[in-house]
Structure 1
């Protein structure tokens, strides 16, 4: 199955839903083929779906349920800049892992949107 997002502000919610379902294919369908994923504040990055898949598998394997809330979504033509706060919470609503993201997404020919650049930054373990 391929997950599609037609409103830019819905991208982070769609990402969290695919992650919570444990569906790697749905997560990857949210990325352009040559997208870039920045995996830490030091600038380490992965380019292309094959490389990104390795990192997304690790995310799926983390315990908890992901919630991701947009801080802002700025659309300019076929591009949008997003920022979101996210958290993985256990069954008792305790934060296991949290952080924020910054993303650039692009409108596709079919009207859907996909990640061009996805940067998960300043993630932290534990409550706080």
Structure 2
């Protein structure tokens, strides 16, 4: 479990580090209860079990994420996190793929003052 995250700008790096370590529970700890995400396939999922399946599949495919933070905009206990990413992953034919993109993620400040993701959209504005 992560300590209280007092700066939302570090969420993408914590996500990257936990995913690259194969720590599905560490990634899930970054999400607020009831959080959701848009998958790379464009499907919207929500809830811990759906997120666990999605993150677990990425770990199983030996996903290696690199995040570069572009913007963090904060207001009214909410943060918009815009991050450029590259995900190296095993492709269906056995070779490695390296898609890239830009996220538009939302985080909120919890009652304890910590920040957690509420919505992840790795497809950004697409």
The answer, yes or no, to whether TM exceeds 0.5 is yes
Does the 8 Å contact 1:28/1:49 carry over to 2? Answer: yes
Preserved CA contact (<8 Å) 1:104 1:118: yes
2:19 equivalent to 1:37: no
Give the paired residue count: 118
CA distance, structure 2, for counterparts of residue 60 and residue 26 of structure 1: 12
Contact 1:105-1:116 at 8 Å conserved across structures: yes
Structure 1 runs not aligned, ≥5 long: 123-128
CA apart distance, 1:71 = 1.2
Residue segments in structure 2 that go unaligned for 5+ positions in a row:
90-95
Residue aligned with 2:122, SS: strand
> What is the alpha-carbon distance in structure 2 between the residues aligned to residue 10 and residue 33 of structure 1?
19
Displacement of 1:89 = 4.6
Whole-angstrom distance in 1 between the partners of 2:120 and 2:36: 6
TM-score normalised by the chain length of structure 2: 0.82
More strand by share: 1
Deviation of 1:64 after TM superposition, in Å, equals 5.2
Q: What is residue 14 of structure 2 aligned with on the other side? A: 14
C-alpha distance in structure 2 between counterparts of 1:50 and 1:27, whole Å? 13
Q: CA deviation at 1:108?
A: 0.9
Distance of 1:120 and 1:64 partners within structure 2: 14
Asked if 2 retains the 8 angstrom alpha-carbon contact of 1:8 and 1:80, the reply is: yes
Tell me whether 48-57 or 63-72 shows the greater mean CA deviation: 63-72
Q: 1:39 to 1:63 in 2, by over 3 A?
A: same
